[in-house]
Amino acid sequence: MKGRIGLRITSSILFIFSFILFLSGCILQRRSMHTLERYYDAIPLPETHPLALEKKRRKNQSNLPTPTGGSKRYSHSSDQQVLSPPRHQSQDLRWEQQQRQQQLEVELQREREKYRSVGYVQLVNDLTSVCSAVLTFNDLDRVNSKASRILIYPESWDMQLDISESQQREAQKVLATQEKTLNSKRKPAKTAKKQKAKKGKKDTTKSHDEEATNPLDPPPLLRQPSEDISSQYHTARRLLHLARIKHSVTLLPMPDEMVTPLVMLNMTDYKRLLYLRHPSIIMKNMDELLLHSPRAVVSAPRDQNGGLSSNFLMVTPEHGELEYLMKQKGVTMDLEGVGKVLEKIYTATAMILPRWPYEVYTSEFFDPPLETKESRNRASTWSPSKTLSEAYYILFDGGRKTQTEEWEKVPQPWKLKSLEEDVAPKCQLVPGQEDGEEGEERWDCSARNVWRTLYDGYRQRRMEVCGLDLEA
């Protein structure tokens, strides 16, 4: 009998503690559900989200009229709070969201300022070369560069392109809207045919409106240009305006004698600038080079003759540097003499960049392969296809070296009637390789194929971006 009494007492104690644990678990779960409901009620959700639909259903149910003509609020039970959070908790959540938004805006502003402090520079001293500069900025868009863009041209051209920042932003908005509309119209042929009959009149009206408000049209001339200005004046003016609106380029007119890469030394509003000679193709983004390369007043690769290259020139602007340079004897500011100035003043202090892959010339694809002769300035692993895949910048230098080491001109891409002309690199007969040993000779046309790819691509892009035909 005593054993049974002890067993009953033990069982009762276990039951009581189990029941208490069960109740505590229910209470904790209930509180957790209430906390989650208050949190999700405080944050904005898409209309199609399941929780948003549930909230909408509960709200509609709470607004249903009661038998007494009033309205009752929805609750799970008589002692459960309504799903709307307390006022102080809702204010805390809104404050946290505002803080996160402000922090994000500050970070984005820092990012914009960082990229705004570095930039790419193009120089034009001839009306016919403006298109080549615009193509360079188009390449920067293609490789997703975020850095600033500056185009320097002679102020004697009197381009009359002054517009306010608000007008520029408005033109950019109109251009973005038109491009978006144009992309949306590029639909499959079947869909286009079905919608053509329904929207015939509307589309016609829209196209007339787009033609009437073309944001790429430059502002009207306030005064007529002088008679000695070339017939290319209006084309160059249109392309300069295109660069500003479509590619966010800063147009910087300079005195004619200051249109030289050396003027970058005095542009102290920027931390670092990179001048790229045109015509050229930018193959890869070089923003990281501008942002993180070691500090040096002048940075450049070696040219083919061993001196500092003036085609790919990175500069860190310094106060008084340009004035110091102009006081030196024998220093000229003309564009052709930049290489000599660099060699004379900055040979000992310049930072030397590797020429490959930063600077590649199209004339190098005319050199015979390494298997047939020892090249003057090449790495042992140089090959046309590898160079094309690794290059950052390729310059159309408009020439080639003959077997007698003489320089022979080669037409630029837009002055070539056809790629079938006898100016492309020749296929070379090179020894084959079989199991590490020399085999039968074979024809290597890789340099010819790469050269044709570069020339053909540039010709097409010149017509698409600038709207200019070939001049052959």
Position 319 scores a pLDDT of: 93
Give the rounded percent of residues in the chain with a pLDDT score beyond 90: 36
Which of the two residues, 297 and 407, has the higher pLDDT score? 297
Least confident span in 34-38, 154-158, 276-280, 336-340 = 34-38
Residue 168 banded pLDDT, cuts 50, 70, 90: confident
Position 110 scores a pLDDT of: 87
Position 429 scores a pLDDT of: 81
192 burial type by CB count under 10 A (0-12 exposed, 13-18 middle, 19+ buried): exposed
> What is the mean predicted confidence (pLDDT) over 289-293?
94
Per-residue pLDDT tens for 9-60?
888 888 898 889 888 888 888 888 878 777 766 766 666 666 677 777 777 7
What is the distance between the alpha carbons of residues 117 and 273, in angstroms, rounded to a whole number?
9
Residue 67 has pLDDT above 60, yes or no: no
> What is the mean predicted confidence (pLDDT) over 220-234?
81
What tokens appear for 450 in the block?
A: 């790469």
Mean of the per-residue pLDDT values of the chain: 81
Give the rounded percent of residues in the chain with a pLDDT score beyond 70: 78
How would you classify residue 291: left for phi > 0, otherwise alpha for psi between -120 and 50, otherwise beta? Answer: alpha
DSSP string of 332-345?
A: --SGGGHHHHHHHH
Residue 88 banded pLDDT, cuts 50, 70, 90: low
Position 309 scores a pLDDT of: 93
Residue 95 banded pLDDT, cuts 50, 70, 90: confident
Position 147 scores a pLDDT of: 96
**Please, what are the domains in the chain?**
116-161+218-353 (3.90.550.10), 360-466 (no CATH)
DSSP string of 350-365?
A: PEEEPHHHH-EEGGGG
Position 47 scores a pLDDT of: 67
What tokens appear for 461 in the block?
A: 């892009």
> What is the mean predicted confidence (pLDDT) over 262-270?
94
> What is the mean predicted confidence (pLDDT) over 223-240?
84
Residue 174 has pLDDT above 60, yes or no: yes
What is the distance between the alpha carbons of residues 272 and 116, in angstroms, rounded to a whole number?
10
Rg of the chain taking only CA atoms, in angstroms: 35
Which of the two residues, 188 and 316, has the higher pLDDT score? 316
Residue 207 has pLDDT above 60, yes or no: no
Residue 143 banded pLDDT, cuts 50, 70, 90: very high
At 131 the three-state DSSP class reads helix
What is the distance between the alpha carbons of residues 382 and 34, in angstroms, rounded to a whole number?
69
Per-residue pLDDT tens for 384-432?
888 889 999 999 998 888 777 788 899 999 988 877 667 888 888 877 6
What is the distance between the alpha carbons of residues 238 and 252, in angstroms, rounded to a whole number?
16
Cis peptide bond N-terminal to 279, omega within 30? yes
Residue 73 has pLDDT above 70, yes or no: no
Give pTM, 2 decimals.
0.73
